[in-house]
């Protein structure tokens, strides 16, 4: 059994024995619980809990009964197509089978879909929905509006003790923005055709209308180009880092591969179009090009042989600037343009570090040939060529906001990801803009402080933060605001290895983004959104959409008083829903004590807590237990980030086993340092640290100088421990071994030279640069005299 597999299994076994200890601050290491069964789904009241909220809504009197005999009527072919989609989704999600008939028939209590040219002024996505006890009608000038109306009608469908019904209501609705997008990244981790279709279905239910498909990157080329077969034969496969890239049976390298054939692309694009979603492909250049250059080395700017990378970050590898390489890009785009009938084509342009161009005499000569004074102007020359090529094929170019750093064709559209500043600049210069800032709309960032969060990127983007993002900067002049086409949420998948994690990252945050994209700004209300959210979770369960439980669970933080034999426990639900708890091991209910203030419990103590809305639990209760021994141990999730670490927290997986669940560690890559804040050091004789190693698989480009570490004083470095924070007194130091034990861990016991006593911020820091591996902490235990 190899090191990382042992690391995984040993950690799972250790976790089982440490459940009580690791629960001390709300980290209990159990697998995330399954979603609530349908029978326990939170009940939403008769209010119209729609997501996104419509532009105008007037409740009526009474309700329209639904049943297997209810008729859906439509006139022309387009209306019948929408009627059929509505009926299929209602049967799938609610188990109600409708009859579809011709609108000429007429029927009491029927649901009608009507294309009405008189509503053309309202816009192609607008609709009017009216429900009375006598029947329901959706009217729109275009099938797109009818479809959005059908999605609203689907949300209104309610089943309770009285049966199935639609509430009486009048809704006049249209979107605020024309671009309401979601970006899917199969380049890092590949998603099947069926999984892409699931995303499209979920987007339709949220009234999103643009799927941005990130098809190429350093880690993989994911779309068939018939003129260049090596793009997928070579560029479509990478060897994962460490043990994840080794076949556990043969011991041989196991490639990670995947790409979409052109026939599959047509299938997906048609599937999206039937749901009124446009697919925008992205072929990234001149950076994020490692996979393509690995397939065709003549495209690169370096003589170093390349392979599709198993690392993450910003790479130096750029396409070269030769005319033949521009022709290659035009060939690729030329094959893809017929597959994507939408208006836009994304050409990337981000994070193109110019070191290789600066060092290349040939690139410098090429710059002189085309009159480019800087490397950025050289990139702009390529962008202009691609823009002209796309325009000749009836397409508009979209690129990340770096394309603004050089001359930009006026027709180019800018996707602003480095904050909103690029979008503001682009709009003022007359370019259309899609706002997609990483600090607000990147869904691979962690969404709560819960230890149950799956691997993800640094920082936290909460549901509230996504909801509050405003795509139109207040400082943008009124006559330039029309250039803001809308907004887009992005999910990069470096750390999203499984479909369950994909859904966890996306939902329910996508619902918050969708409301900003659709609902008039004046009608947005976060508190009301939270009141409507439980009903949306019920729909997710009915429609088979997985979602994150962490925002709906209860976290606990415990502070012990060893002398008194008590623990003070603070409870929190990340979204602020009501918390109820028990201390006798029973299941909490809405009639259990409501949490108001921190609880003082006598050790040993047990507590179960859940968040509630409308008297029903939003997620399964979480179980916590503490005793005197457990309070002397902290897991890596319970440790803080040292101030000098730049607060760049990552939740990273171990590299093995090759399949199945892997251990997860909280760590930093810029400064290997952890902190146990306010550790009680009275009577502590030593600190025991259980540490392991995982591959260091990051490319930092120009951020590399910001990665720092304390110099090693021995062959393999040390574990240093400081009291009073990292700038305080060093109270212990232990040399690090050359290798870990057979179980993948090493137990480091550090006697305190002089115990400072009292509560101290205990800083734990590894010295030396140990790449290509990095040390991670599994747990820390204070040992008493």
User: Which residues are identified as catalytic?
Assistant: 351
Task: Report whether 64 contacts 133 (CB < 8 A).
Answer: yes
Report the candidate in 395, 500, 511 with the shortest Cα–Cα distance to residue 452. Answer: 500
Joined together, the tokens standing for residue 766 give 């590894």
Report the candidate in 700, 709, 635, 637 with the shortest Cα–Cα distance to residue 673. Answer: 709
Q: Given the structure tokens 């509505």, which residue do they identify? A: 86
Q: Given the structure tokens 């639990």, which residue do they identify? A: 617
Joined together, the tokens standing for residue 269 give 């694009």
Contact residues for 98 (Cβ-Cβ < 8 A; gap 6+)? 66, 68, 70, 71, 72, 86, 87, 90, 91, 111
Pairing of strands 56-66, 135-140: unpaired
Report the candidate in 443, 615, 613 with the shortest Cα–Cα distance to residue 535. Answer: 613
Report the candidate in 574, 625, 635, 565 with the shortest Cα–Cα distance to residue 600. Answer: 565
Pairing of strands 256-257, 745-751: unpaired
Alpha-carbon distance of 601 to 588, in angstroms, equals 17
3-state secondary structure of 612: strand
SS (H, E, C) 668-728: ECCCCEEEEEEEECCCEEEEEEEEEEEECCEECHHHHHHCCCCCCCCCCCEEEEEECCCCC
Task: Report whether 329 contacts 323 (CB < 8 A).
Answer: no
Q: What is the DSSP string of 389-437?
A: HHHHTT-EEEEEGGGGGS---TT-EEEE-SSSHHHHHHHHTT--EEE--
Task: Report whether 701 contacts 315 (CB < 8 A).
Answer: yes
Task: Report whether 111 contacts 82 (CB < 8 A).
Answer: no
Task: Report whether 412 contacts 343 (CB < 8 A).
Answer: no
Sign of torsion, CA 292 260 187 463?
positive
Task: Report whether 697 contacts 243 (CB < 8 A).
Answer: no
């Amino acid at each position: 059994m190899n090191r990382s597999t042992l690391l995984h299994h040993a950690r799972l076994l250790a976790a089982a024995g440490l459940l009580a200890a690791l629960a001390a601050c709300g980290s209990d290491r159990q697998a995330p619980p399954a979603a609530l069964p349908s029978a326990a789904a939170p009940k939403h009241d008769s209010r119209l809990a729609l997501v996104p909220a419509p532009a105008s809504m007037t409740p009526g009197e009474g309700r329209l009964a639904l049943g297997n005999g209810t008729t859906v009527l439509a006139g022309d072919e387009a209306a019948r197509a929408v009627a059929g989609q509505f009926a299929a989704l209602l049967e799938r999600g609610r188990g109600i089978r409708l009859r579809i008939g011709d609108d000429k028939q007429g029927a009491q209590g029927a649901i009608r879909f009507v294309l009405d040219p008189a509503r053309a002024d309202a816009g192609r996505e607008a609709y009017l929905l009216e429900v009375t006890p006598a029947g329901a009608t959706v009217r729109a000038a275009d099938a797109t509006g009818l479809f959005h109306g059908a999605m609203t009608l689907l949300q209104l469908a309610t089943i309770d003790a009285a049966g199935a019904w639609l509430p009486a209501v009048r809704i006049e609705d249209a979107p605020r923005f024309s671009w309401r997008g979601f970006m899917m990244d199969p380049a890092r981790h590949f998603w099947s055709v069926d999984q892409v279709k699931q995303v499209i279905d979920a987007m339709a239910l949220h009234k999103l209308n643009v799927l941005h498909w990130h098809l190429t990157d350093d880690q993989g080329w994911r779309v068939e180009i018939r003129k260049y077969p090596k793009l997928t034969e070579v560029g479509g496969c990478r060897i994962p880092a460490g043990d994840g890239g080794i076949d556990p049976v043969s011991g041989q390298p196991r490639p990670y591969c995947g790409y979409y054939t052109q026939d599959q692309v047509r299938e997906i694009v048609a599937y999206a179009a039937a749901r009124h979603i446009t697919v925008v492909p992205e072929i990234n250049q001149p950076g994020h090009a490692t996979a393509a250059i690995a397939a065709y080395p003549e495209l690169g700017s370096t003589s170093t042989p390349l392979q599709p990378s198993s690392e993450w970050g910003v790479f130096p590898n750029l396409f070269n600037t030769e005319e033949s390489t521009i022709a290659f890009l035009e060939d690729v785009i030329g094959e893809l343009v017929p597959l994507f009938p939408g208006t836009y084509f994304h050409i990337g342009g981000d994070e193109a570090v110019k070191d290789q161009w600066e060092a290349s005499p040939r690139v410098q000569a090429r710059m002189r040939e085309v009159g480019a004074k800087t490397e950025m102007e050289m990139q702009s020359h390529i962008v202009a060529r691609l823009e002209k090529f796309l325009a000749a094929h009836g397409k508009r170019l979209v690129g990340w906001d770096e394309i603004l750093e050089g001359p930009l064709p006026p027709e180019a559209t800018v996707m602003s990801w480095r904050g909103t500043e690029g979008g503001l600049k682009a709009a003022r210069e007359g370019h259309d803009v899609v706002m997609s800032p990483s600090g607000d709309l990147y869904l691979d960032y962690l969404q709560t402080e819960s230890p149950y969060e799956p691997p993800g990127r640094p920082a936290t983007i909460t549901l509230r933060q996504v909801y509050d993002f405003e795509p139109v900067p207040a400082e943008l002049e009124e006559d330039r605001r029309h250039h803001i086409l809308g907004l887009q949420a992005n999910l990069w998948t470096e750390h999203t290895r499984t479909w369950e994690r994909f859904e966890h990252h996306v939902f329910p945050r996508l619902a918050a983004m969708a409301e900003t994209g659709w609902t008039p700004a004046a009608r947005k209300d976060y508190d009301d959104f939270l009141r409507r959210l439980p009903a949306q979770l019920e729909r997710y369960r009915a429609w088979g959409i997985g979602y994150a439980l962490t925002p709906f669970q209860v976290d606990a933080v415990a502070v012990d008083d060893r002398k008194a034999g008590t623990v003070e426990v603070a409870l929190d639900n990340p979204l602020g829903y009501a918390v109820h708890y028990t201390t006798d091991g029973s299941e909490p209910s809405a009639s259990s004590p409501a949490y108001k203030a921190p609880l003082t419990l006598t050790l040993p103590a047990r507590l179960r807590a859940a968040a509630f809305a409308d008297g029903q639990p939003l997620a399964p209760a979480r179980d916590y237990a503490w005793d005197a021994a457990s309070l002397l141990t902290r897991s890596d999730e319970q440790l803080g980030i040292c101030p000098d670490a730049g607060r760049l927290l990552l939740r990273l997986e171990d590299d093995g086993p090759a399949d199945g669940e892997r251990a997860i560690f909280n760590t930093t890559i810029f400064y290997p340092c952890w902190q146990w804040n306010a550790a009680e050091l009275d009577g502590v004789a030593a600190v025991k640290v259980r540490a392991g190693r995982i591959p260091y698989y990051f490319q930092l480009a120009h951020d590399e100088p910001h990665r720092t570490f304390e110099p090693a004083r021995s062959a393999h470095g040390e574990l240093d421990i400081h009291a009073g924070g990292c700038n305080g007194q060093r109270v212990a130091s232990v040399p690090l071994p050359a290798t870990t034990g057979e179980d993948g861990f090493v137990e480091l016991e550090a006697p305190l030279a002089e115990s400072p006593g009292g509560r101290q911020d205990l800083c734990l820091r590894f010295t030396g640069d140990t790449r290509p591996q990095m040390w991670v902490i599994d747990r820390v235990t204070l040992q008493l005299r």
